[in-house]
Amino acid sequence: MKFISNKIELEENGYSILTDLYTDNEINNILACIEEDEQSGNSFMKTKDLFAIRQLLKNIPKLTDLLFNKSLTELISDLSESEYFLTKAIYFDKPNGSNWFVPYHQDLSISVDQKADVEHYSNWTFKKGQYGVQPPVKILQDTITIRIHLDKTDKNNGALKVIPKSHLQGIIRIDSEHWDTKNEFVCEVEKGGVMLMKPLILHASNRTMNNKRRRVIHLEFNKHRLSEPLNWLEYHKNQVMI
């Protein structure tokens, strides 16, 4: 297992950083594929501080083969012995002069195909034509997030800051006294590298200060089927990777 040390680090610390999963040529092809798209509709969000594409592989299906190269497929296979499948894909572009920042939080919402009164599913939202809901904590604990970095990312252009091991505390009230930033770690990632993350780890990002872009593709994987009648919004059997 080539990535066993990253698997252990992800489980223990809530994150892990890898380099060189993509060549410069592969990154250029990914960026060209995104830039060629029409980029219109509810799934596309553009402001002076952020450009995002939700349901990325549904909107730009040609990206699938470019993203799931041999290295990424091996990585996903090494992370779990269970059958994991893609549940979410988003593209984020933080422009050169972005003042957009994100305070510390956990990723508690998943995207589903409908709203229904289901036990243990709460905090419903409806944004840009899609439903979000907070599922049972076990689903969040078993989610694996993979962030593909299309630019070199450091503390000056919005690299994620995390509180290591905070994912082990379950759902945390942000105003709680049970965490602080003294152990904060900045996850700097090279272009073509990947950051692995558990969604329950406390994480944040700062404004851009060096006039350099930060483009990231955010993928989430899970192994659980949802309580009926709910289904993962972006699940597709052909995107089962493990």
More confident residue, 240 or 53: 53
pLDDT for the residue 100: 76
What pLDDT shows up at residue 12?
Answer: 98
Residue range 67-107, pLDDT digits in tens: 999 999 999 999 987 789 999 999 999 877 777 789 999 99
Rounded distance between C-alpha atoms, residue 238 and residue 228, angstroms: 21
In the chain the domains, ranked by start, together with CATH numbers, are: 4-37+44-239 (2.60.120.620)
pLDDT of residue 161: 97
Which tens digits make up the pLDDT trace of 221-234? 999 999 999 999 99
Share of the chain above pLDDT 90, in %: 74
| pLDDT tens readout for residues 191-240 | 999 999 999 999 999 988 888 889 999 999 999 999 999 999 999 654 54
Q: How much is the pLDDT for 242?
A: 44
Determine the Cα–Cα distance for residues 111 and 38; give it in Å rounded to an integer. Answer: 23
Q: Per the confidence metrics, is the pTM higher than 0.85?
A: yes
Considering only CA atoms, which of 13, 45, 53, 49 is closest in space to residue 205?
A: 49
Which three-class secondary structure string do you get for 105-131?
ECCCCEEECCCCCCCCCEEEEEECCEE
Among 146, 158, 145, 163, smallest CA distance to 202 is for: 163
